[in-house]
Structure 1
């Protein structure tokens, strides 16, 4: 597997990249090659006084690359200029990446937590599965909030094609997953359909065959609120959800359940979008 690791070379990014447990989790799910990417904003020019951003970022990436190479990964570095989420998505498509990883400061003091603009825009537009890796908000020496990325997974499903695609990610996540909680939030569409308890039980059986300890939850209410309530109860290391894709309307509007989860979850989020189009 090939992963894009997007970094702004901040202390938070350094904490994530130098965490050996996180890197081991990536190896467990099959990641062999990592493309380290940092983006120089297009409004910052090399000719500005005191600016050598490309050179500084190349040196910073080289340090991160050494850490990852020592951990056993093949590493390529990319310093590019432009709009971060567009350039990250572009590189992901070019190298045929299997996932993108981006750090995000967690647990904002604001009542309604918001994530950084790059993580938010990637959640709306990513072309490959996106791991939003939560970093604590400490100013000096931040640490990742959950070292074992996929050890305990909360999987949210509405039984749609998007959700089924996300569940398929367990085919490789299972190598790093020990426990899973499967949650469905009832909606009017459930009327006349197969009992969601039975459908969750079928999914749970698949995971238990892979020696993943699994429990199921059926909730009632606002989907995002209920999924986040379960996250608070079971404290997963990562919440796994599907995304509906990259329409122009979605890029202009917030509010989908998956974007709510990415923005408000306390822990890591693994977002699985529709497959690439040719």
Structure 2
């Protein structure tokens, strides 16, 4: 498997790239090749005296390349210029990436400002699964909030086609996951359902749980009522999840609207990592 690892060369990005436990997690899910990518924004002019942006960034990537190669990965580097999320998506498609990894700082004082614009745009437009790794804020030596990325998974499903597609990610995640919580949130509008209908979500979650148990993943189910995003975030805290796994929906023809409101809210508000699975490329 190939992963595209985006970096802005900040201290936060460096903390993630140099984390040995993180390397082991990626190796466990089958990542063999890593493409390190940094983008020089098109509004920064290379011709300014003393800038040499591409050269400085390439030298930084060379250092990161050595770290990744010492961890056992085959590594290629890319220094490109343009709109970050567009260039990142373009390279992901060109190299046939199976996963894009982007770092994001942790909690922000401003609501819905937890993730930066590049990460937010990647979440809305990525055509390959996107892993958003949460990194500590407001510290001179930042680190990952959860070094063991996939140890405790929280899978959120509305039983849609793309939620089913997200569940398929466990075929590789099972080699790194120790436990999983499967969550379905019922809307308050569903309070008038019959007893049989009320039991259906739990039964469907039990079927998924049985599959994970066969892979030696300790699994429990949780059916909740309320606002989906609120309940998913509450479940993340309650079960101390290291990563939330969920799918995005592709109902709109507009690329920027591919991400459903629930997914976007979860990505913005989650304390830990988020693994987002988009619709298939043909969609």
TM-score tier (shorter): over 0.9
Counterpart position of 1:204: 209
Structure 2 segments unaligned to the other structure (5+ residues): none
Counterpart position of 1:268: 273
Closer, same or farther: CA 162–189 of 1 in aligned 2, 3 Å: farther
What SS is found at the alignment partner of 2:174?
helix
Q: How does 1:163-178 map to 2 (within 5 A)?
A: 163-178=163-178
Counterpart position of 1:52: 52
Deviation at 1:109, TM superposition (A): 2.6
Q: How does 1:90-101 map to 2 (within 5 A)?
A: 90-101=90-101
Counterpart position of 1:227: 232
Counterpart position of 1:80: 80
Counterpart position of 1:183: 183
- Cα distance in 2 between the residues matched to 1:234 and 1:171: 22
Closer, same or farther: CA 97–112 of 1 in aligned 2, 3 Å: closer
Deviation at 1:41, TM superposition (A): 0.5
Spell out, residue by residue over 1:92-113, the C-alpha distance to the aligned partner (whole angstroms, 9 max, x if none).
Answer: 0101100000000011133554
Deviation at 1:241, TM superposition (A): 0.4
Deviation at 1:198, TM superposition (A): 0.5
Closer, same or farther: CA 252–173 of 1 in aligned 2, 3 Å: closer
Closer, same or farther: CA 3–198 of 1 in aligned 2, 3 Å: same
What SS is found at the alignment partner of 2:162?
helix
Q: Is the 8 A contact 1:183 1:219 kept in 2?
A: yes
Structure 1 segments unaligned to the other structure (5+ residues): none
- Cα distance in 2 between the residues matched to 1:181 and 1:252: 28
Deviation at 1:138, TM superposition (A): 2.9
Q: Is the 8 A contact 1:102 1:119 kept in 2?
A: yes
Q: TM-score, normalised by structure 1?
A: 0.95
Of 263, 269, 274, which aligns to 1:258? 263
Closer, same or farther: CA 255–275 of 1 in aligned 2, 3 Å: closer
What SS is found at the alignment partner of 1:9?
coil
Name the count of aligned residue pairs.
Answer: 278
Counterpart position of 1:153: 153
Larger displacement relative to structure 2 (44-53 or 117-126): 44-53
Kindly report the root-mean-square deviation, in angstroms, between the aligned alpha carbons of the 2 structures.
Answer: 1.8
- Cα distance in 2 between the residues matched to 1:106 and 1:174: 26
Counterpart position of 2:106: 106
Deviation at 1:247, TM superposition (A): 3.7
Counterpart position of 1:34: 34
- Cα distance in 2 between the residues matched to 1:151 and 1:71: 20
Q: Is the 8 A contact 1:124 1:245 kept in 2?
A: no
- Cα distance in 2 between the residues matched to 1:83 and 1:246: 25
Counterpart position of 1:216: 221
Of 244, 247, 251, which aligns to 2:249? 244
Deviation at 1:115, TM superposition (A): 0.8
